Structure 1
Amino acid sequence: MRVAIVIGASSGIGQSTAIQLAKRDTGVILTYSGNPAGAQDTVAAVEKEGGTAVALRLDIGRSDTFPAFRDDVVTALRDTWQRDTFDHLVNNAGFGGMAMFEDTTEELFDRFMRVLLKGPYFLTQALLPLIADGGAIVNVSSNSALPTGLVDAGYSAYATMKGGLNVLTRYMAKEFAARGIRVNAVSPGPTRTRLSDASGVVGFEAYPEVIPMLAAKTALGRLGEPDDIGKVIATLLDDTGGWITAQNIEVSGGYDL
């Protein structure tokens, strides 16, 4: 059985990805930060599909905790799957929010950097020795950072970090190729998730009035759902995506097309 680590899987895209992987006979180590109940919901959903999951707490914005997290991963792999490696990594954790350029504080900028760019960089570095040769990584980016994406005022700091993640994806793919490890990114458009902003307010639950507007700007006529993204991530990780690396796949239903 293959084993994947899905960062930020207590809800939304991460939760969907964990379930989609379970359907493909892949065990899951999933992480959560402030939503332990959601993490247990994900474990239960994976088990409902006949899979096995272990939930571990991780603050992706604190790189000083990564060595201890790596030790927890080693223990989970040994005790649950009798393995000392895993196969897939999904760097998904993050938070949303906006601030106009002139209102962006260094504190907010640094938080975006720690969570959206520094975290995936150094977490992947910490876990790389445990990834089996021939494995795969998917970094969850955003279509706001694509050259063809909508440039919407207020997202300069957020999109800058996601743009850095896109560049990092290509360099990871180049450097990890010697071990047969593929690295790709997916760039969702507006998606119905519980992604919180910098103040902790949950997006579409707090502002349902924006949904029709976003749907009207999407070629396929609706807001994205977590499964729309989770299925693509799972496909990039499994053998179907075995000849795909260093790519950034927009998964937006034709947002702003």
Structure 2
Amino acid sequence: MKSENKIALVTGGSRGLGKNAALRLAEKGLDVIITYNSKQQEALAVVKALEDKGVKAASLQLNVGSLNRYDDFSSTLNSILTEKWDRSTFDYLINNAGIDWAAPFAQTSEEQFDSLMNVHFKGTYFLTQKLLPLLADNGGIINLSTGLARFVIPGYSAYASMKGAIETFTKYLAKELGSRGIRANTVAPGAIDTDFNKANFDSHPEVKGFIASQTALGRVGIAEDIGGVIAFLCTDDARWINAQRLEASGGMFL
């Protein structure tokens, strides 16, 4: 039986911001497909949590940094859409998957740079391109950026530069896909306390206090501060929001 719910695909949906976004999407009545890199059991637990909310859900393995696997992933995605939803398209693409690496500019290696590039910019760029035939008209794309594209904390020159590129890329998506009714927006979180930042926070315990002191709302963000923003952009209430950068940072460095 063909699903009447809209379908969102969340990359990196087994943990952190992606997991919370997936759960919030389900609360708004969207079916959800998540991808995971290596944490299959965590992904399956998220799928169960989504199904417990009354929506259809599935998980697929994807290493966003392995561009040579995109053809296989697209084929698998097409198959699961057909088998589980009796559809050939999905409605919303949330490019959330990411890796963390912080190092001073003078100490950043080409290998580190390329790893970040393959996931955060090149991967997002070409995965979106590969999935365009499966993305329904009048759907949407949400790309994850960072507050670090506006303000500067030493150590993130490569990561933040790629997220700056994502913000420019998103505006081009909005312009070039507008004829299909597809909206493209960027969500830019501030510092969020998830396992993505755990290594940095653990090795520099003073960072949390500093960030809280520089945030208007007086604390470090959590995943639950971001998922609802992403989910909102996948609803008709956001139908006239296009080519925008929505920073969700609690007011960092104002």
Partner of 2:79: 75
| TM-superposed deviation, 1:178 | 0.6
| Ranges in structure 1 where 5+ consecutive residues have no aligned partner | none
Confirm or deny: 8 A CA contact 1:194 1:205 kept in the other structure.
Answer: no
* Poorly superposed stretches of 4+, deviation over 3 Å: 201-209
Corresponding letter in the other structure for 1:137: I
C-alpha distance in 2, partners of 1:26/1:64? 30
Q: CA offsets, 1:171-230, max 9 Å, x none?
A: 01100001000000010000111116xxxx744466555322221211101111112111
**For residue 168 of structure 1, what is the aligned residue in structure 2?**
169
Q: Per-residue CA shift, 1:126-169, capped at 9, x if unaligned?
A: 100111100001000001012xx2x1111111111101101100
Give the match for residue 230 of structure 2: 233
Alpha-carbon distance in structure 1 between the residues aligned to 2:104 and 2:218: 28
> For residues 141-180 of structure 1, what are the structure 2 equivalents within 5 Å?
141-146=145-150, 149=151, 151-180=152-181
The answer as to whether partners of 1:86 and 1:132 remain within 8 angstroms in 2 is yes
| Of 239, 243, 248, the match for 1:246 | 243
Q: 2:48 and 2:208 mapped to 1: Cα distance?
A: 29
Aligned with residue 221 of structure 2, among 211, 218, 224 = 224
SS at match of 2:186: strand
Q: Secondary structure at the residue paired with 2:76? A: helix
Equivalent pair of 2:101/2:116 in contact (CA under 8 Å): no
Q: Percent identity?
A: 45
Shift of the alpha carbon at 1:256? Answer: 1.4
Residue 223 of structure 1 aligns with an amino acid whose one-letter code is V
Secondary structure in structure 2 of the residue aligned to 1:50: coil
What is the distance in 2 between the residues matched to 1:48 and 1:254?
34
Cα separation, 2, equivalents of 1:80 and 1:10: 20
Secondary structure of the residue that 2:226 maps to in structure 1? helix
Report SS of the residue matched to 2:163. helix
Give 1:97-246 correspondences, 5 Å limit: 97-146=101-150, 149=151, 151-195=152-196, 202-204=199-201, 208-246=205-243
- What does 1:86-105 align with in structure 2 at a 5 Å threshold? 86-105=90-109
Residue 9 of structure 1 aligns to a residue whose secondary structure is: coil
Distance (whole Å) between structure 1 residues aligned to residue 202 and residue 9 of structure 2: 27
Residues 203 and 47 (structure 1 numbering): CA distance in 2 closer, same or farther, change over 3 Å? farther
Q: Report the Cα distance in structure 2 between the residues aligned to 1:210 and 1:166, rounded to whole angstroms.
A: 26
For residues 203 and 54 of structure 1, the distance between their equivalents in structure 2, rounded to whole angstroms, comes to 31
Query: Pairwise CA RMSD of aligned residues?
Result: 1.4
Structure 2 stretches lacking a partner, 5+ long:
none
Say whether the 8 Å CA contact 2:20–2:223 is kept in structure 1: yes
Q: Hey, what's the Cα distance between the residues in 1 that align with 2:48 and 2:222?
A: 20
Q: Secondary structure at the match of 1:237?
A: coil
What is the alpha-carbon distance in structure 1 between the residues aligned to residue 202 and residue 235 of structure 2?
Answer: 33
Summarize the alignment of residues 2-21 of structure 1 with structure 2, pairs less than 5 Å apart: 2-21=6-25
Q: Does 1:255 align with 2:234?
A: no
1:38-82 per-residue CA deviation (whole Å, 9 max, x = no partner) reads: 212211221121122101000000111001000111111111111
Specify the SS of the correspondent of 2:237.
Answer: helix
Q: Is the 8 A contact 2:146 2:163 kept in 1?
A: yes
1:55 aligns with 59
Q: TM-score, normalised by structure 1?
A: 0.94
Relative distance call for 1:65 and 1:36 in structure 2 (3 A) is same
